[in-house]
Amino acid sequence: MELVHHRSGSGPPLVLMHGIGHHWQAWQPVIGLLARHHDVIAVDLPGFGASPPLPPGTISTAESLAYAVEAFWRDLGIDEPHVAGNSLGGYLALDMASRGVCRTATAISPAGFWSRTELLWLRSVLKAMRAGPINRAGLGLVVAHPERLSDEALHSGWQALKDAPGFYETLDAFYWMPPPAPPKVPVTIAWGEKDRLLPRRQAVRAGRWAQKRVHLMPGCGHIPMTDDPELVAQVILRGARAAN
């Protein structure tokens, strides 16, 4: 399927995937930094941002979203790109690594390493944010520095959350989303030190899954791209270099 995306830069292809209820613009603070080294493709997942939902009869799960993004980059003539994702997008990146369809995968605060109680917390916060009025103070649950988010990014991100047709079906699928199979390519996992949506204790479980150290990102929340763009770009670039 055709997915709305932004593409810039040159070099080895790098596909960026956002979290549930967000859109490709979440990556805008870091795209310029990454585009110095990569052909960067930031994509709206099916049913989010401006991309159409999955075809009728296809349930919006992490697996179906990952396959749709893979089919999308193949339509662009790309084979085995580097991938990076945040939250749900981080889980998709790890799923792609488990199937060996990418060169490397970088996951920032990836979904899927929660306890049942932590999942209930995540669901309640996301549903309240979608239903409630726009509120910069409430963004402290997803970013460490709400004041660094521009008014335009705040309003467009909130609208993306409220308008996403794939939101509830994908959120419900979280109940049946186990950690991915072991990776077949190099993976990097990083976690916001101040992540309040998926607390950093989940990084311990992610580290056990990956059998490697998880990088903590100082001063960063769950969606860290505006908290520290340079650090986020460094994490992704280092992750991509792991293929060399």
Chain-centroid distance, C-alpha 36 = 21
Average pLDDT on 52-56 reads 95
Identify the bridge partners of residue 86 per DSSP, sorted by sequence position. 108
Distance CA 167, CA 161 (A): 8
DSSP states of 134-166: --TGGGGGT-S-GGGS-HHHHHHHHHHHHH-TT
Distance CA 82, CA 241 (A): 10
Number of other residues whose CB lies within 10 A of the CB of residue 57: 5
- Phi first, then psi: what are they for 37, rounded to 5°? -125, -15
pLDDT tens, residue by residue, 142-167: 999 999 999 999 999 999 999 999 99
- Phi first, then psi: what are they for 107, rounded to 5°? -120, 125
pTM: 0.97
Distance CA 156, CA 142 (A): 15
* Length of the chain counted residue by residue: 244
Nearest to 19 by CA among 114, 124, 112, 89: 89
Query: Residue 240: CB partners within 8 Å, gap ≥ 6?
Result: 12, 14, 37, 38, 82, 84, 103, 104, 106
Quick one: pLDDT band at residue 136, thresholds 50, 70, 90?
Answer: confident
Residue 70 φ/ψ region, left for φ over 0, alpha for ψ in the -120 to 50 degree band, beta for the rest: alpha
126/1: higher pLDDT: 126
Contact (Cβ atoms closer than 8 angstroms) between residue 217 and residue 143:
no
Distances (CA, A) of 220 to 85, 108, 200, 237: 15, 11, 11, 18
Whether residue 134 is predicted with pLDDT greater than 80 in this model: the reply is no
Quick one: pLDDT band at residue 138, thresholds 50, 70, 90?
Answer: confident
